[in-house]
Structure 1
Amino acid sequence: MDDFSRSWTALLAAVAGLDDADFARPSGCTGWLVRDLVCHLVIDAQDILITLATPAATEPTRNAVTYWEVADAPPTGEDPLDALTVRLAAAYGEPWLLKFHLDDVGSAAGRAAGLAAPDLGVSTRDEVYTVADYLSVYVLESTLHHLDLIAHLPDAADPPAEGLARARELLTAIAGTAFPPSFSDKDALLIGTGRRTPTESEAAGLGGFGGRLPLVIG
């Protein structure tokens, strides 16, 4: 729960600190500008609010690791929701409108998470999770998107160290194989999800595991 709060709060702060010109820069998500990514974060915040307001009476069916599915290839942008995100981001027009909307729903999502009982069952995607597991999903999601947000903003702050460490733990569990200890948490996440190509020495350290990368999760 604390890792979610730290990661989510840091992500909202990173968006709030963007200059208007930054919204037209590329993000770490292939094909998306920063404005498109911020619009996606608005949708994420809405999903958090909806899920936390959808209690389930049955036992959990998935957890923070089994939530994720590993795809065979990266998204192409042809998915209807991905295409809608780009059009919706453009419709905002002014960056301050996106900032305002994310601060509004994002702050509400953070408050709702803080009020939710960790063991409460909630439902999303026709599956049931405990609140604690569901919010752990968003530690990985928000940490990766924080890295995407600052991919071309060299002076921006990294995600919180605790969130990076927890996100690495989750990605390792999804992969079923540990990343080399020489990898920083940030590098493990970037290389593991295909956001950065490993150097020659990093590729050697990955060994056979490298052939299974990137992990395209969603």
Structure 2
Amino acid sequence: MDLFSRSWTALRGAVAALADEDFERPSGCTGWLVRDLVCHLVIDAQDVLITLATPATGEPTVDAVTYWKLVEPPTGEDPLDALIPRLAAAYGEPRLLTFHLDDVGSAAGRAAGLADPSARVSTQDEVLTVGDYLSAYVVEWTLHHLDLIAHLPSAPEPPDETLAAARASLEQIAGSAFPASLSDKDVLLIGTGRRAPTDAEQNALGDAAAKLPFVLG
């Protein structure tokens, strides 16, 4: 619960610190500008609110790790992916987009803080505890924080502890550890295909390099 709050607060803070012109820069999500990514975060925040308000009574079917599935890289043909840029553009001014994220995002953060970690909720036809659901979102927030600042070198990075937690989750999802010589940030970027490994990193990864990237869905 604490890591969820730290990762979400840091990400929203990074968005709040953006200059208007930053919204037109590319993000780390292929084909999306920063404004598109911020719009996606609004939808993510809505999903958190919806899930926390969708109690379930059955036994959990997934946990914080198995919630994530390894999927094929996106092709850009997903209708929702195509909708996001149009929706983001409809906001017009960046301040309207940041206001909406702050409004919905703050509510999502408060709802998470008030939720019972042991309660069960349902999302995407799965059942899991609130604690596991919010833990899974630490990966989401941390990766999107890196996406947000991909072309903004002076922007604040995700907290060290959430980078470490997201790395640990990715290693569990992938079923193997990454070399200790790679930083948490580099593991997340390389492991999820956000950048290609250097020759030295390729050598350090060894046989694992052939399995990359691990695309989460």
TM, length-normalised to structure 2: 0.99
The residue matched to 1:75 in structure 2 has which SS? coil
Distance 2:70 2:145 in 1: 20
> What is the Cα deviation at residue 78 of structure 1?
1.3
Query: Counterpart of 1:5?
Result: 5
Query: Counterpart of 1:96?
Result: 95
The residue matched to 1:128 in structure 2 has which SS? strand
Distance 2:167 2:46 in 1: 25
Tell me which stretches of 4 or more aligned residues in structure 1 moved more than 6 Å: none
Residue segments in structure 2 that go unaligned for 5+ positions in a row? none
The residue matched to 1:119 in structure 2 has which SS? coil
Query: Counterpart of 1:147?
Result: 146
Q: Deviations over 1:159-213 (max 9, x none)?
A: 0111000000100001001000011100000010011111111100100000000
Query: Counterpart of 1:184?
Result: 183
Query: Counterpart of 2:77?
Result: 78
The residue matched to 2:180 in structure 1 has which SS? coil
Distance 2:25 2:208 in 1: 33
RMSD: 0.6
Query: Counterpart of 1:200?
Result: 199
> What is the Cα deviation at residue 64 of structure 1?
1.0
Distance 2:111 2:71 in 1: 31
Letter matched to residue 128 of structure 2? Y
1:169 equivalent to 2:173? Answer no
> What is the Cα deviation at residue 68 of structure 1?
1.0
Letter matched to residue 43 of structure 1? I
Letter matched to residue 81 of structure 2? D
Query: Counterpart of 1:20?
Result: 20
Q: Deviations over 1:80-134 (max 9, x none)?
A: 1111111100111110010000000000000000000110000000110100100
Letter matched to residue 124 of structure 1? T
Letter matched to residue 149 of structure 2? I
The residue matched to 1:165 in structure 2 has which SS? helix
Distance 2:30 2:110 in 1: 31
The residue matched to 1:183 in structure 2 has which SS? coil
Residue segments in structure 1 that go unaligned for 5+ positions in a row? none
The residue matched to 1:129 in structure 2 has which SS? strand
Report the identity percentage: 74
Letter matched to residue 40 of structure 1? H
Distance 1:78 1:124 in 2: 23
Query: Counterpart of 2:65?
Result: 65
Query: Counterpart of 2:208?
Result: 209
TM, length-normalised to structure 1: 0.98
Letter matched to residue 4 of structure 1? F
> What is the Cα deviation at residue 76 of structure 1?
1.9
Letter matched to residue 188 of structure 1? V
Distance 1:25 1:208 in 2: 35
